[in-house]
Amino acid sequence: MTLLNYKKIGTGNKTIIVLHELMGDHRNYDPILPYIDTTNFTYIFVDHRGYGLSKDIQGEYTCEEAATDVKNLITKLNLTEVNLLAHSMSTMIAQKVALIDDRIKQLILITPITAAGIKMKPQAQDKLIDSMKKNENLIEYVVESASNRYNQPWKDYRIKIAYEASTLEARTGYMTMYLTTDFIDEVKNINIPIKIMVGHHDLPAFHKNNIKKQFEANYNDF
């Protein structure tokens, strides 16, 4: 059984497992650490295969594999109830975990992707995956597109983290995951609360109205 590595903070009775996005790892959450409640909560900041503290763990980088990894970690930690928080790419993984593990009591999804994944025309999809495989400045393009209100040092920092956080194989694998995976027909079986957070300055695809429309059509309690 493969066990993911993680950073644990806090000693509280309530556990929150935290999953990262495509272009980062557990360090994405470092800025909030001085402000979190470590008395009532325990936070488990998990790195997926090929990322951060789990960078040396190889895999297929599928949604099913990643969800099973999280489930196995919950078992290893002897947890009976978990709130699962995820950002962007990992929101798909979190939804799959909720479907296979009844110890998940709440999902908290930040700029989420539905279980249908991100739909693109085949040619555009192939071009995007190929660009990631070849390391052709895709990270720089995404950071620039999403960071218009930030200065260049901020952009340089985000680009640096994106390259350092993961292996190229893992980044490509998880990008392929959210472009090709679709289990939207299963999410009607998620019967726990889903809390969604979006940002005012997020990319248009993640604006409140778009996300609300996508989730209203398929999900029970969000």
Instruction: Tell me, yes or no, whether 74 lies in a domain.
Output: yes
Instruction: Tell me, yes or no, whether 40 lies in a domain.
Output: yes
In this prediction, residue 62 carries a pLDDT of 98
Residue by residue, pLDDT tens for the chain (222 residues) are: 889 999 999 999 999 999 999 999 999 999 999 999 999 999 999 999 999 999 999 999 999 999 999 999 999 999 999 999 999 999 999 999 999 999 999 999 999 999 999 998 989 899 889 888 888 788 998 898 888 889 999 999 999 999 999 999 999 999 999 999 999 999 999 999 999 999 888 878 888 888 988 898 888 876
Instruction: Tell me, yes or no, whether 111 lies in a domain.
Output: yes
13, β-bridge pairs? none
**Domains identified in the chain, total number:** 1
Distance CA 188, CA 118 (A): 19
CA 170 to chain centre: 13
H or E stretch including 194?
Answer: strand 194-197
- Name, in order, each residue with C-beta under 8 angstroms of 32's C-beta and a sequence gap of 6 or more: none
Cα angle 37, 161, 165; round to 5: 85
Q: Please answer whether residues 195 and 106 qualify as being in contact, where contact means their C-beta atoms are separated by less than 8 angstroms.
A: yes
Instruction: Tell me, yes or no, whether 168 lies in a domain.
Output: yes
Distance CA 186, CA 193 (A): 16
CATH code, 44: 3.40.50.1820
Instruction: Tell me, yes or no, whether 78 lies in a domain.
Output: yes
C-alpha distances in angstroms, 62 versus 170, 186, 202?
10, 17, 26
The count of other CB atoms within 10 Å of the CB of residue 76 is 11
Instruction: Tell me, yes or no, whether 204 lies in a domain.
Output: yes
Instruction: Tell me, yes or no, whether 210 lies in a domain.
Output: yes
Distance CA 95, CA 88 (A): 12
Q: Please answer whether residues 207 and 198 qualify as being in contact, where contact means their C-beta atoms are separated by less than 8 angstroms.
A: yes
Range of the domain at 83: 6-216
C-alpha distances in angstroms, 53 versus 10, 108, 132, 165, 205?
19, 23, 22, 9, 30
Give the residue ranges of DSSP H helices in 116-207.
Answer: 122-133, 138-146, 152-165, 168-180
Instruction: Tell me, yes or no, whether 1 lies in a domain.
Output: no
